A = this chain, B = another copy of it.
Amino acid sequence: MTRSDNKPYHHGDLRTALLEAASSIICESGIDGLSMRRLADQVGVSRTAPYHHFKDKNALLCAIAEKGFEHQDAMVQELMDKLGPDQNRQRFKRWVRAYIRFAHENPETYDLMYGREIWKRGEPTESLQQVSRASFRLWVDLVDHMQQQGVLSCQHPALKTAQASWASLHGLTRLLIDGVYLDRTDLEEIAETLVDLITQ
């Protein structure tokens, strides 16, 4: 078959292009708006071309989630470095706010990172599991530090406390991105209340 258009047969960097297009589709149409066919159309390749770079749709979603973890970690980390060593309670509150803000600005990515689409319905890539574990370790470290500074109770070990407090934060976040609490201002107050409840 002759190739009338000037588009080359091989794309060159299809994997990257797919990831970028997928992020953009998810951003404006949500996860439901992302289909392998629509994605392929947008990039300008055949409908099954993406399958040479991602085993299936689940693998593509895992890759997006992975990028999400990196983004979130970088953002939160950078924010923490700005604070002096003596403002620990501030530091904790700031982390909570940054966490919620990230989810608010990237709700669909957050859903992929911590939602059932990948973790229950599909199955997380080995690579994704590593990244997510590393991300959680950041939280455990922070909690450990907060315990030593007396911001959080030492009644339970750092790991358990980290699990429990992160679960709380995650719950609050989910309410926002799942549309149960739509009001962001309202949610900020609840977050404030939550931190007061948890910290001592």
Q: Which residues of A contact B (CB under 8 A)?
A: 30, 32, 111, 114-116, 119-121, 153, 155-156, 160-161, 163-165, 167-175, 177-181, 189-191, 193-194, 196-198
So how many copies of this chain end up in the complex? 2
Q: Are B164 and A167 in contact (CB under 8 A)?
A: no
Q: Find out whether the CB atom of B175 lies under 8 angstroms from the CB atom of A190.
A: no
- What separation, in Å, do the CA atoms of A120 and B110 have in the docked complex? 14
Contact in complex: B167, A171 (CB < 8 Å): yes
* Nearest-CB residue, chain B, relative to A166: B171
Is there an interface contact between A179 and B116, defined as CB atoms closer than 8 Å? yes
Task: Kindly identify which residue among B115, B153, B178, B196 contacts A153, using a CB–CB cutoff of 8 Å.
Answer: B196
Cα distance A167–B195 when bound, in Å?
Answer: 12
Cα A193 to Cα B169 with chains together (Å)? 14
Are A160 and B193 neighbours in the complex by a CB distance under 8 Å?
Answer: yes
Contact A196:B116 (CB < 8 A) given known A170-B175, A171-B169, A190-B167: no
A56 to chain B, nearest CB (A): 15
| Cα-based distance from A33 to B155 in the complex (angstroms) | 43
Instruction: Verify A194–B178 contact, CB threshold 8 A.
Output: no
Q: Across the interface, name the chain B residue whose C-beta is closest to A157.
A: B193
Cα distance, A167 to B196, chains bound together (Å): 14
Inter-chain contact A164/B193, CB cutoff 8 Å: yes
* A164-B172, A167-B171, A198-B197 known; A116+B111 contact, CB < 8 A: yes
